[in-house]
Amino acid sequence: MVKSELVRVLSDKLPEFQTRDVELALNCMLDQMNTALENGERIEIRGFGSFDLRHQQARLSRNPKTGEPVNLAAKVRLHFKPGKELKDRVDAARNKCRITE
């Protein structure tokens, strides 16, 4: 879902608020989430999931095309762990997503 579509859906569900106010609230929430992650904080949204940072050490890898060794620098990765409610909803909607095993 694109952010503009999310603003439209929220505006439809909250007709007492103007669209620009809904968009401002959404942008504020996303900015706060970005700031928290930049500061190394963990974010937990009950029923949805949690975001945290994982540190990946520098390592030696290989170029898949040439097979030459390549040094990869250490980095920080964003990790999302879905909550139980989200996992259950996604699993229940499995047939809608055309997921095959």
Question: φ and ψ at 23, to 5 degrees?
Answer: -65, -40
d(CA 34, CA 66): 38
User: Taking the model in full, what pTM does it have?
Assistant: 0.74
Looking at the structure, do residues 66 and 98 belong to the same domain, yes or no? Answer: yes
Sign of CA dihedral 8, 5, 87, 33: negative
- Same domain flag for 36 and 58: no
> Which is higher by pLDDT, 8 or 95?
8
Domain with residue 75: its CATH number is 4.10.520.10
Average pLDDT over residues 10-23: 91
Residue (of 92, 80, 24) closest to 10 by Cα position: 24
pLDDT, tens only, 22-54: 999 999 999 999 999 999 999 999 989 999 999
Q: Are 17 and 11 in contact (CB under 8 A)?
A: yes
Domain residue limits at 10 = 1-41
What was the pLDDT predicted at 3? 82
Q: In total, how many domains does the chain have?
A: 2
Q: From CA 84, how far away is CA 53, in angstroms rounded?
A: 20
Percentage of residues in the chain with pLDDT exceeding 90?
72
In the prediction, which pLDDT does 50 show?
97
